[in-house]
Structure 1
Amino acid sequence: RRLMAQWMGRVGFELNILADHVLGEILKGDRVFADETSLPTLAPGTGSAKKAWLWAYARDDTPFGGSGPPMVAYRFEDSRSGDCVRRHLGGYRGILQVDGYAAYNKLARKDGGNDGALLAGCWAHSRRRFYELHTTGASEVATATIEKMTELWALEATVRGQSPEARTAARQTVSAAIVAALFALWERTLPRISGKSKLAEALRYAMTRREIFERFLIDGRIELDSNIVERAIRPQTITRKNSLFAGSDGGGRTWATIATLLQTCKMNNVDPLAWLTLTLERIANQWPSAEINALMPWNYNA
């Protein structure tokens, strides 16, 4: 097992420059999706696992008609603080589409300023809170909310792949009125119910994020949700369940490096094993560093 771990560490070392290049390409995009998931990691000398994290950053321009390839980069950290986000994405000035986690506010653009990222929210995270109440029949407001939100996603299906301008026009025609009706419903409801109820929690979650939730209405590059990065996170949660933990911080970093490249292969419909085999052969044969982009999964040509 130790020998296999050493092999993986060496592979991670050789591929690290490629994984860094992927993140660099992600940050060139108009929009980045971000999410994070826990990764238990053995702590040296303790005999137990500590809580560490895999941060994920994804780019996919196809929903708004972009031609750039989809990709994802993972970063291993022993913290979930906003300092990690700043370290990974510092200087990024595009759209950062996230869930409601406060750490991403570290990069948020200040009102009227140009520095920092423009935060956009994820309607799917809000929907889940209402959906739980809807399925139990516990709240007519939750049911009405789900019905209205379903109309939003129905419109999105019709404009997927269209230009940002076309998407914005359709959203202004259809979605803007739906969103306005939802917030009006929530504002009427919140003062009438117990502040400790689950419905009140769902309402506050949505209402305190109104600005970042409404941004998709005026910018066609923004998605209604951050499902693109959540789909990239899911394979790592399955691997985590099977492996239980990373063996060390170094192992966690190797995990992030290799996962970055193999998941990017999958996003581009490239066989990960075929790509990895050819790429390691090229690296072993002194592939020139100036031509690193040719090694990227989206440029793979068997």
Structure 2
Amino acid sequence: MIERFGELPDDVDELKALALDALARVDRSETDAQALRSQTSSLTAKVEDLTQTNAAAKAEIDRLTSIIKTLHRDRFGKRSEKLGADDAEQQSFVFEEVETGLATIDARLAAKADAKPRKAPRDKPRFPSHLERVEEILEPEIPEELQGKERVEIGREESVRLDVVRARFRLIVTIRPKYAYKDPAAILQAPAPEHIVEAGLPTEALLAQVAVSKYADGLPLYRQEAIYLRDGVELGRSLMAQWMGAVGFHFEPLAAHVLARIREGERIFADETTLPTLSPGAGKTKTSWLWAYARDDRPFGGAGPPMVAYRFEESRSGDCAARHLGDYRGILQCDGYAGYRKLAGAPHSNGLHLAGCWAHLRRRFFELHANGESIVATATVEQMKLLWAVEEEVRGQPPQARLAARRVTSVDIVQALFDLWERELPRISG
């Protein structure tokens, strides 16, 4: 702004200096105004960008909120509103989706925030010792004036990232030269190596890859077919199904051996669960059953290796358990399924004792407790915590020590539970 002078000098040089100073002030004001307009424009663009980011984050939060409401409805809603038989798997998908959505929001907001120094994680992840370790040393660029100068390393920073080498196909070509001898006359050639699929294409490693993907990772053969096709390798699902049949045949002795070793133990844990299977010609699935028999003596101070055997059946009949366990004469830990009780009550079952599973018993009480539907269920769960605490203290100790601790502490806890149930039982309808 040009100052207003009361009196102007009469000298021409002073007038020129005064005019030049006024013009300089005008230029500076114009420059400041231009910088202010540029800064305003930059802030306006940043505000618009943040507005869009917040809108996208809000939309993502709304989507995640809807997913959580669906999960809440499945947990507490009416039976008709629940996800269905595969609710555990569906809920795992829900949690994965929520975690992914939250990470997306964090990444989007972090990209718009001012740069901050990265903080090292407090707890470094632990990896198994067999992983290959590849070290990359990044040397700094040395300025010209420091070339050839003596230097001393005063420290180093190390960061670890987890890498993966994708599985790749390769061809194993086995060549067996054939040699002829004249004196004495003979022809020699190395015998052909034995394979699981005789004269077949797959190596044992490929069979293991397909089997683990199908049975352990739940990856159907038609999906594996599409995955392998991305590498230009055409493996039809029917062909891989034939391979899995051969693998199952060769594994039958091993599976029988595992179950036989389990039956040698003093105690066996048994359980069964539904397994939806395809019903050929019906165009839908039917309910089959997967029976599991486990042996793990580590919590009891034993040195035997843990193992589990699975048996597939199309029914839940107690005859299945009788066929699997045979003449077993130990402790069978199980739930309250009548098929096991029938097995224990059979005439030939001398020496077979049933041990009820406290975890199965607690499950229904805990469901009522979590929903706040029963004071008795809450009291039961609280009382069972004391049992769990005793077992935590004696886990891995010799049988005599565990028995002594249970007689001293657990007996009174269990008696209190039965007293509670017997008081409430007459008040419950049949």
Shared fold, TM over 0.5: yes
1:179 paired to 2:414: yes
What is the Cα deviation at residue 109 of structure 1?
5.1
SS in 1 for 2:397: coil
Contact 1:108 1:118 in 2 (8 A): yes
- Give structure 1 regions of 4+ aligned residues with deviation exceeding 3 angstroms: none
Could you tell me which of 265, 278, 284 is aligned with 1:42? 278
Equivalent in 5, 10, 13 of residue 246 of structure 2: 10
Query: Residue 71 of structure 1 aligns with which residue?
Result: 307
* Aligned-partner Cα distance in 2 for 1:158–1:29: 24
Deviations along 1:25-81, one digit per CA (max 9) or x if unpaired, are 000000000011111222333333221111000000111111100000000111100
Letter of the structure 1 residue corresponding to residue 306 of structure 2: P
Q: Where does structure 1 lack aligned partners over 5 or more consecutive residues?
A: 197-302
What is aligned with 2:127?
none
C-alpha displacement of 1:137:
2.8
Letter in 2 for 1:74: Y
- Deviation (angstroms), 1:110: 6.9
Q: Determine whether 1:22 maps to 2:270.
A: no
TM-score calculated relative to the size of structure 1: 0.61
1:158 match: 393
Q: In structure 1, the residue corresponding to 2:388 is in which secondary structure?
A: helix
Q: Does 1:95 find its partner at 2:331?
A: yes
Give runs of aligned pairs for residues 247-262 of structure 1, distance below 5 A.
none
Residue number in structure 1 paired with 2:210: none
Could you tell me how far apart the structure 2 residues matched to 1:134 and 1:117 are?
34
Which residue is equivalent to 2:378?
143
Structure 1 partner of 2:320: 84
Corresponding letter in the other structure for 1:21: H
Question: Match of 1:161, as an amino acid?
Answer: G
The one-letter amino acid paired with 1:175 is S
Deviation readout 1:173-216 (Å, 9 max, x if unpaired): 00000000110111011212x416xxxxxxxxxxxxxxxxxxxx
**1:127–1:44 Cα change, 3 Å:** same
Shift of 1:165: 1.0
Judged with a 3 Å threshold, the aligned counterparts in structure 2 of structure 1 residues 135 and 11 are, in CA distance, closer, same or farther, namely same
Among 102, 109, 132, the residue aligned to 2:367: 132
How far apart in 2 are the matches of 1:143 and 1:47? 45
Amino acid paired to 2:249: F
Provide the aligned length of Structure 1 versus Structure 2: 194
Amino acid at match of 1:80: R
- Secondary structure of the residue aligned to 2:327 is coil
1:73–1:82: structure 2 CA closer, same or farther, 3 Å change rule? Answer: same
Give the percent of matched residue pairs that are identical in Structure 1 and Structure 2.
67
Rounded Cα–Cα distance in structure 2 between residues aligned with 1:20 and 1:98: 21
- Give 3-state SS (helix, strand or coil) of 1:176's partner: helix
* Alignment partner of 1:195 is 2:392: no
Q: 2:356 aligns with which of 82, 106, 121?
A: 121
The range that moved more, 64-73 or 36-45, is 36-45
Query: How is 1:200-211 mapped onto 2 (pairs within 5 angstroms)?
Result: none
CA-based RMSD: 1.8
Task: Assess, with a 3 A threshold, how the Cα gap between structure 1 residues 30 and 140 changes in structure 2: closer, same or farther.
Answer: same
TM-score with structure 2 setting the length:
0.43
Cα gap change, 1:43 to 1:195, in 2 (>3 Å): same
| Conserved 8 A contact 1:91-1:116 | no
Q: Verify the 8 A CA contact 1:110 1:116 in the aligned structure 2.
A: no
Label 1:105 to 1:153 Cα distance change in 2 as closer, same or farther (>3 A). Answer: same
Q: 128-137 or 173-182, which moves further after superposition? A: 128-137
One-letter identity of the residue aligned with 2:394: V
Partner Cα distance (1:157, 1:67) in 2 = 19
